[in-house]
């Protein structure tokens, strides 16, 4: 979840909405059979997901499509660069809080260069100079600090997030630089709207490809969310999950008697006597 401009009052409303929705989630949403353990409130989440899909199809997607068709690509890139430059300030703060001092310094240097030479961030001169763009937020910072991620939740309009990332999003919004850069309500809400529309326009093709290739759109989006967040938290170098150990040759197999209980004459080279070799796991 990225830092976007909001009003102080809007931040309080958002936090209140998250608390109210969390109450209803915990209060008694029915769960589905064979649910993913990360998603204990899948019934609720699917209902909200369907609502969000309807909202997106009816409102967000048409606006984003018209925006993309109306504005040339070069202008949309400048809009993206402008907001990315603003975000570098708090990305640097999060890198500092995570102990990555070099990355924090790089983020703030990017902001200075792009805000000056790059004309208020419209041009990404820092990337051309070799300063890489990072992607950090308070959700990742909380993860580095050891906070548990909690259940998977889908929020109305806001989309998916774990409990940890939801609190991180509230912190991102509260710390958004444009909150203290301007007090003009019209400017702040205008920036908010422009940011969201530009972001949705950038994702039009990606979401179409993901949805068309998925048997279950909800599961596909959930799995993609977890994979992406894991990649961001570990900066693209996530450790492999622990490999499942093969059973010992003399250990009883599930549903069978111990090997010693089987008479030797009846154990003449059965397929179960072959050595178990685990399949190679796919990299995340």
Kindly report the number of other CB atoms within 10 A of residue 221's CB atom.
Answer: 19
Q: Is the pLDDT of residue 31 over 80?
A: no
Long-range contacts of 219-222 (CB under 8 A, 24+ apart): 221/49, 221/160, 222/36, 222/39, 222/152, 222/160
Interval 96-109: pLDDT, tens: 999 999 999 999 99
| H or E element at residue 209 | helix 204-212
Residue with more model confidence, 213 or 151: 151
pLDDT value for 53 = 95
Half-sphere exposure of 84 (CA within 13 A, CB side): 23
Enter the tokens of residue 257. Answer: 């008697």
- Mean pLDDT along residues 174-183: 84
| Cα 187 to Cα 166: distance, rounded to the nearest angstrom | 26
Interval 125-137: pLDDT, tens: 999 999 999 999 9
Q: Is the pLDDT of residue 23 over 90?
A: no
Confidence of residue 240 (pLDDT cuts 50, 70, 90): confident
| H or E element at residue 112 | helix 101-116
Q: Is the pLDDT of residue 124 over 50?
A: yes
pLDDT value for 205 = 84
pLDDT value for 27 = 43
**Which residues does residue 153 pair with via DSSP β-bridges, in sequence order?**
161
Give yes or no for a contact between 11 and 174, defined as CB atoms under 8 angstroms apart. Answer: yes
Return the exposure string of 179-208: e unless at least 16 CB atoms fall within 10 Å of the residue's CB, then b: beeeeeeeebeebbebbebbebbeeeeeee
* Alpha-carbon separation of residue 39 from 24, 49, 150, 244, 280 (angstroms): 15, 13, 9, 23, 27
- Whose tokens are 């939740």? That residue is 153
> What predicted TM-score, i.e. pTM, was given to this entire model?
0.72
To the nearest whole number, what is the mean pLDDT of the chain? Answer: 80
pLDDT value for 208 = 74
């Amino acid at each position: 979840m990225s830092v976007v401009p909001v009003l102080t009052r809007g931040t309080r409303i958002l936090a209140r909405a998250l608390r109210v929705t969390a109450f209803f989630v915990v209060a008694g949403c029915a769960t589905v059979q064979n649910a993913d353990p990360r998603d204990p409130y899948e019934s609720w989440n699917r209902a909200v997901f369907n609502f969000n899909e309807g909202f997106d199809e009816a409102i967000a997607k048409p606006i984003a499509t018209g925006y993309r068709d109306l504005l040339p690509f070069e202008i949309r890139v400048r809009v993206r660069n402008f907001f990315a430059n603003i975000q570098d300030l708090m990305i640097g703060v999060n890198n500092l809080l995570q102990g990555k001092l070099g990355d924090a310094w790089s983020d703030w240097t990017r902001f200075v260069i792009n805000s000056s030479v790059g004309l208020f961030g419209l041009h990404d001169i820092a990337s051309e100079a070799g300063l890489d763009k990072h992607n950090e937020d308070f959700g990742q910072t909380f993860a580095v600090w050891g906070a548990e991620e909690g259940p998977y939740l889908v929020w109305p309009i806001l989309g998916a997030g774990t409990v940890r990332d939801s609190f991180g999003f509230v912190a991102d919004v509260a710390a958004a630089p444009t909150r203290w850069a301007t007090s003009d309500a019209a400017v702040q809400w205008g920036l908010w709207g422009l940011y969201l529309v530009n972001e949705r326009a950038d994702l039009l093709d990606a979401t179409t490809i993901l949805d068309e290739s998925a048997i279950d759109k909800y599961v596909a989006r959930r799995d993609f969310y977890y994979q992406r967040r894991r990649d961001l938290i570990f900066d693209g170098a996530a450790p492999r999950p622990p490999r499942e150990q093969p059973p010992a040759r003399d250990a009883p197999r599930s549903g069978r008697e111990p090997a010693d209980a089987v008479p030797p004459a009846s154990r003449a080279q059965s397929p179960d006597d072959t050595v178990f070799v685990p399949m190679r796991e796919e990299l995340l």
